[in-house]
């Protein structure tokens, strides 16, 4: 009784050619991502590599050429390889199986039995160039069901349904190991201070990021530079941006109050879009800029207002400025 209830998780060979078989929208790419990126050969990606457009159907023949070359070279090196393409026709599968046999590697068919309605529904949110027409999805679905009986005859050593594979554990294990490495829990250096940089600005920024340990430009706060060639941005790490100890970054911009100003003008940078705007001058007059000499826009307004108040007592105008200052503080 209990053995009947125990789910069957077939153990895949450690090194094989794994051919995913399923209609567009069946979930092949989601499943494929549970393997390390280099092991996955995705026809969509290969279309993108030959044509700049993953959905370019004209590029399919070229992409398949590249796929066959990569499969052959990986099989020759006995590397575990996952082919993420519909593979619903035996014509598409034959060269893949042949490459595995040529190099003495097992060929494993993994069939995605996702219902047709689900595959069709998943086309809707896709970008226009990635949507597969309903008729095509239906035909792929039929071909997939039809092919199931013939897979062993085609030379596959094993045939499995995707839903029986035990892929969640290796997927989470890999993510967990990557996180441990980031934190230095694996005995390595980890990302350290760069963890915050990555969280705020994204992983692509890390290679350009350099802490400037001797810089005093931020009044004692840590200073960093994002530099590529001659272009660069200067940033400061602020340790108490909200009065509650939260961390944040400021980026250095020109002083908006005086082009000859000897101070440093800083404006908060919340995302990589702020960095782009700072580099292209779009933050140059931002209302949140604070200059070490002039202060912020509220201070400058306040000064002008003080002059005005001395001339003609204007309590209403004053109250208005105070309200603006409060909004700026809390908003």
Provide the binding-site residues for Zn ion, judged by CB under 5 A: 255, 257, 261, 263, 291, 293-294
Q: How far is the CB of 219 from Zn ion (least distance, A)?
A: 14
Q: How far is the CB of 270 from Zn ion (least distance, A)?
A: 22
Cβ–Cβ under 8 Å, residues 99 and 68: yes
Q: How far is the CB of 256 from Zn ion (least distance, A)?
A: 8
Q: Which is nearer to Zn ion, 45 or 292 (CB)?
A: 292
Q: How far is the CB of 240 from Zn ion (least distance, A)?
A: 23
Residue from 107, 105, 106 nearest 87 by CA: 107
Distance between CA atoms of residues 112 and 165, nearest Å: 11
Q: How far is the CB of 326 from Zn ion (least distance, A)?
A: 24
Q: Which is nearer to Zn ion, 35 or 257 (CB)?
A: 257
Q: How far is the CB of 182 from Zn ion (least distance, A)?
A: 39
Residue from 6, 11, 7 nearest 158 by CA: 11
Tokens of 279: 């580099």
Q: Torsions phi, psi of 132, nearest 5?
A: -100, 130
Distance between CA atoms of residues 173 and 265, nearest Å: 45
Cβ–Cβ under 8 Å, residues 24 and 36: no
Residue from 56, 108, 59 nearest 87 by CA: 108
Q: Which is nearer to Zn ion, 293 or 326 (CB)?
A: 293
Distance between CA atoms of residues 215 and 57, nearest Å: 53
Kindly compute the dihedral angle of the four CA atoms of residues 302, 308, 313, 317, in this order, to the nearest 10 degrees.
-50
Q: How far is the CB of 218 from Zn ion (least distance, A)?
A: 15
Distance between CA atoms of residues 239 and 112, nearest Å: 50
Which residues contact residue 183 at a Cβ distance below 8 angstroms, ignoring those fewer than 6 apart? 190, 191, 195
Distance between CA atoms of residues 205 and 200, nearest Å: 10
Q: How far is the CB of 291 from Zn ion (least distance, A)?
A: 3
Distance between CA atoms of residues 41 and 145, nearest Å: 23
Q: How far is the CB of 253 from Zn ion (least distance, A)?
A: 10
């Amino acid at each position: 009784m209990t053995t009947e209830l125990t789910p069957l998780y077939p153990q895949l060979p450690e090194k094989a050619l794994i051919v995913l078989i399923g209609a567009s929208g069946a979930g092949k790419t989601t499943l494929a991502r549970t393997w390390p990126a280099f092991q996955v050969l995705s026809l969509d990606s290969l279309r993108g590599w030959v044509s700049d457009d993953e959905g370019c159907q004209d590029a399919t023949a070229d992409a398949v050429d590249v796929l066959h070359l990569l499969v052959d070279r990986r099989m020759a090196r006995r590397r575990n390889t996952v082919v993420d393409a519909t593979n619903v026709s035996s014509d598409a599968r034959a060269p893949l199986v042949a490459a595995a046999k040529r190099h003495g590697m097992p060929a494993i068919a993994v069939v995605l039995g996702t219902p047709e309605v689900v595959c069709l529904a998943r086309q809707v949110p896709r970008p226009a160039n990635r949507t597969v027409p309903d008729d095509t999805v239906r035909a792929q679905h039929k071909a997939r069901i039809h092919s199931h009986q013939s897979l062993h005859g085609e030379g596959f050593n094993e045939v499995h349904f995707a839903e029986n594979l035990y892929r969640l554990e290796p997927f989470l294990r890999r993510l967990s190991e990557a996180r441990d490495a980031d934190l230095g829990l694996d005995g390595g250096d980890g990302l350290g201070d760069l963890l915050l940089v990555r969280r705020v600005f994204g992983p692509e920024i890390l290679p350009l990021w350099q802490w400037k340990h001797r810089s005093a430009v931020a009044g004692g706060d840590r200073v960093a530079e994002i530099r590529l060639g001659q272009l660069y941005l200067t940033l400061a790490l602020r340790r108490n941006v909200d009065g509650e100890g939260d961390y944040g970054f400021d980026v250095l911009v020109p002083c908006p109050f005086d082009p000859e100003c000897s101070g440093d003008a800083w404006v908060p940078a919340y995302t990589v879009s702020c960095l782009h705007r700072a580099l292209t001058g779009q933050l140059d007059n931002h209302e949140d800029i604070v200059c070490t000499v002039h202060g912020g826009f509220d201070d400058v307004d306040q000064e002008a207002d003080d002059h005005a108040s001395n001339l003609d007592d204007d309590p209403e105008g004053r109250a208005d400025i105070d309200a603006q200052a409060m909004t700026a503080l809390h908003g």
